[in-house]
Structure 1
Amino acid sequence: MNMALEARISNPAGLLPDSVQAANLLYKAAHSAGVPGNTLELVHLRASQINGCSACVDSGARGARKAGETDERLFALAAWRDTPYFTEAERAALALAEAATRLADRSDPVPDEVWDEAARHFGEKELAALVLWIATTNFFNRINVTTRQPAPQHWG
């Protein structure tokens, strides 16, 4: 059943323009802490895949490709644990993104081993940026999925 045929309301950011400034500040903060841009792109895309946010999956994949990501890595992202395409730091960031996105799936949502592996690759400021970016991605995913914001149609 395809329920995402039509948005329930216009994009909430368009209806509440003050939210755009807040979103831009979150984006800027997360992207200014030294985490590689491609890692943030992968984290955003993976959380969006988990949440089934078509608009963010579409924009995330396009943004990642524009930033230089290969199709090979993008196609394998959902199965990142079983492919050789990702660095250890990227794997740690992806594990953190999955755990922080699936909070209700286990009694210890972000286990020490996931956090400790991320901390092995990222400093405190970078970890803060990753957590902020994962939370921001989940924020947008929930808005878009709830209001059925569609992925844009691309022709050609």
Structure 2
Amino acid sequence: MTERMDLGSLAGEAYKAMAGLDRFVAASTLAKPLLELVCLRASQINGCVYCVDMHSSDAKRAGESDARLHAVAVWREAPFFTRQERAALAFTEAATRLSTTDVTDEVWEQAAAHFTQQELAALVVAVATINAWNRMGVATRMTPESYK
């Protein structure tokens, strides 16, 4: 796999705008470990090797266990996740797979039961942002940092 271009240097203003979305989400009251799980799951679904590498590494540095990281792809069957994390992961999957599914009322209500309105807004922005990053990473075949 060869990286196609350095989008950051060619579209710096776009990267700055995306970083602004990341700062908004980071400033929310959503827990950093939860955000890493959300970003990891969306990145797995989208096949973004750069973002899978980054978010699994960031989650590990933040204290996430190997067992939980390995189980994110099969979170529905794994016993390692809280109800709040499950609600966030269900929302992430639904909002990431818009071409094949919908964010149903059930998924929305489950998330709303575990997050404040402000947190839910941040979760919506977090999922939208990681999906945009994934699309940039996949399209340009960004090389994972751990491989460089």
Change (3 A) 1:104 1:69: same
Q: Could you tell me how far apart the structure 1 residues matched to 2:66 and 2:146 are?
A: 20
Structure 1, 35-44 or 142-151: larger mean CA deviation: 142-151
Where does structure 1 lack aligned partners over 5 or more consecutive residues? none
Structure 1 segments of 4 or more deviating over 6 A?
A: none
Is residue 129 of structure 1 aligned with residue 122 of structure 2? yes
Aligned position for 2:99: 104
1:64-120: per-residue Cα shift (whole Å, max 9, x none)?
0011100010001100010110000000000000000000113xx100110000000
Displacement of 1:153: 4.4
Query: Are 2:36 and 2:59, in contact at CA under 8 Å, matched by a contact in 1?
Result: yes
Is residue 36 of structure 1 aligned with residue 36 of structure 2? no
Query: Are 2:53 and 2:146, in contact at CA under 8 Å, matched by a contact in 1?
Result: no
Is residue 91 of structure 1 aligned with residue 60 of structure 2? no
Q: Could you tell me how far apart the structure 1 residues matched to 2:78 and 2:143 are?
A: 30
Letter of the structure 2 residue corresponding to residue 7 of structure 1: E
Where does structure 2 lack aligned partners over 5 or more consecutive residues? none
Q: Which of 2, 5, 8 is 2:4 aligned to?
A: 8
SS of the aligned residue for 2:119 comes to helix
TM normalised by structure 2 equals 0.95
Structure 1, 126-135 or 22-31: larger mean CA deviation: 22-31
Aligned position for 2:18: 23
TM normalised by structure 1 equals 0.91
Q: Could you tell me how far apart the structure 1 residues matched to 2:59 and 2:80 are?
A: 15
Q: Could you tell me how far apart the structure 1 residues matched to 2:147 and 2:136 are?
A: 22
- Aligned pair count reads 148
Q: Could you tell me how far apart the structure 2 residues matched to 1:31 and 1:71 are?
A: 23
Q: Could you tell me how far apart the structure 2 residues matched to 1:133 and 1:36 are?
A: 12
Displacement of 1:19: 2.3
Aligned position for 1:151: 144
1:20-56: per-residue Cα shift (whole Å, max 9, x none)?
3212211111122211111100000000000000000
Aligned position for 1:115: 108
